[in-house]
Structure 1
Amino acid sequence: MFKDVCQETVTPKAQDFFKNSLTGKLSQKDEPYSTFTSEDLQDVIELGLCARIMLIRNIDTTDGLVNGEFGNSVRISPVEEVLHGKNVTRKQLPLRLGWAATIHKVQGMTVKEIVVSLKRTFASGMAYVALSRVSSLKGMHIIDFDPKIIYASEIKRYNYSSRFNGILPPIKIFN
């Protein structure tokens, strides 16, 4: 699917360097250094022209290029982030494909179209946060829907039931 959407693709590989303890100079490693995987700079990233991407590091906060920012990829000249470990340095683009995101990541965003899986909601209000991101009902697509996952917190239910007791009719759920 990725290559159907983005015909022009590139696969930049991380460049890892280690400091030679005898000479003190940096030398490039043949294989990626495994401990950098926890630092979010991946060994290899697949990118394509017009791909949906997300930054995983701050690049220029004054220009809005901040961690978690979404966008579409364009042709660029190489810009490298250098991450220094104990005796190792990694160069890689601080990007990740961003076709999907968690409910927490999209909180506060507004989008024209959204596909939402509600399968793993685990707290009151999560379904609301996910579903209220879209600007129109036409752009909302829900998968894994179960009416039981949409509920208010116990505190909110108590406050509303005591305040509006007998005034509001019960809400009907249609299956």
Structure 2
Amino acid sequence: MSFLGPKLLLKIDSRLRQAFPHRQHEPFGGVSIILVGDLRQLPPVMDKPLYASHSTALALWCSFQTVVTLDTSFRQQGASYIQQQFRAILQNIRNANALQTNWEALMSRSSAKLAVEHNKEFDSSIHLFATNALAKHHNTKRLKQLHLPIAQCLAQVPRQTNIAYDNDDQLPSEILLSVNEQVMLIANLWIQASFVNGSLGQIKSIVYDTDSKPPDLPKYVVVEFKNYTRPHWDYANSKFVPIPPITRGGHTQIPLAMAWALTIHKSQGLTLNKATIDIGKTKKQGLTFTALSRVKYVHDLRIDPPFTFERYSKLQSNAYTTIRKKEENRLAALSSQISTSPPSQQL
């Protein structure tokens, strides 16, 4: 729900009132809506947070009166002092509380402080960047370093229209594929098997029909997904899965994207074995927290380039921090009503 802004919330409300005209005078057309997330993570793109919206959207936001708070960290578990310190650092960042000691601890994980052999361990890790341009630059560099043929794949667009669908946020007009390329699935193909948008893998082969070649679309791309446990497609290689082209909006395309580097926005929700973080120049608390919390253990984190304490302390000057904390107090009060209700009234 941190991604959800007033503009989108109003569109959802308007569309549901149209879909259920007999209840058009009720919020969301009388449909039950559940919002899930953390207001301290990434804010909406090109929009305000819900709690900082104008009167109409704010009234919709405030119509959510049942609040259940989940307060256990499952990603950064462990009873060691280092893990407790890591959790405390992340909690302070979530609260926009920038401490000198926390910054010093984080900088011990900067590329400048790590030994040469430790830096080499992170060279193959996923790199997280604050902008699309930086992520694309890193991906392109790593693709060239493979020194293998690269297949250009152009999306198929219906001939009866001249619309290019450049704004389709799932399937790009062009992708570049190569054997050994690290990729991410960018569509939900099998939700029950957690084979979803964000699944990470490595290309093993690219298969074309006998009468086609680049820039035509492949028949399918064989990708190795380390976490795949469902029925085998290739019994000799149980983790191999064929990914065919799919159609979304006006595009037919292979639903893969290069994933040596991701934007911090794209990484939200992922748990990474290792990560190299570039938080950029932004002072957004949510961006910093999301980036640093993608790994389970602090020793799986590398910060490159390092950032100054002045940059770190700007977390506290975010325009929405004070408003958000006030809103969190309101939600906490609603949550406490649930926890103290008789069992028959609990969710």
TM-score (norm 1): 0.62
Distance 1:104 1:13, change over 3 A: closer
Alpha-carbon deviations, 1:68-100, whole Å to 9, x = none?
333222325521212454xxxx32112221222
Higher RCO, 1 vs 2 (CA within 8 Å, ≥6 residues apart) = 2
Contact 1:118 1:144 in 2 (8 A): no
CA distance in 2, matches of 1:93, 1:138: 31
Secondary structure at the residue paired with 2:174? coil
Q: Does residue 1:80 correspond to 2:221, yes or no?
A: no
Per the TM alignment, residue 34 of structure 1 is displaced from its structure 2 partner at its CA by 4.7
> Quick one: distance in 2 between partners of 1:84 and 1:103?
25
Taking structure 1 as reference, are residues 53 and 34 closer, same or farther at Cα in structure 2, changes over 3 Å only? farther
1:140 has 2:299 as partner: no
Contact 1:131 1:140 survives alignment (8 Å): no
Gaps of 5+ in 2: 1-140, 208-219, 221-243, 327-347
Match of 1:16 in 2: 157
More helix by share: 2
Give the alignment's Cα RMSD to 1 decimal. Answer: 3.1
Shift in alpha-carbon separation, 1:91–1:128, aligned structure 2, 3 A: closer
Paired residues of 1:49 and 1:74 also in contact (CA < 8 A): yes
How far apart, CA to CA, are the structure 1 residues paired with 2:300 and 2:157? 47
Q: Does 1:54 align with 2:216?
A: no
* Gap runs ≥5 in structure 1: 20-28, 157-175
Larger strand share, 1 or 2: 1
Mapped partners of 1:117, 1:99: distance in 2: 14
User: Which of 141, 165, 169 is 1:36 aligned to?
Assistant: 165
Matched, 1:7 2:148: yes
2:256 equivalent to 1:95: yes
Aligned length: 141
Give the percent of matched residue pairs that are identical in Structure 1 and Structure 2. Answer: 27
- Distance, in Å, in 1 between the alignment partners of 2:249 and 2:286 is 40
| Paired amino acid for 1:122 | K
Query: How much does 1:109 deviate?
Result: 3.1
TM-score, length basis structure 2: 0.35
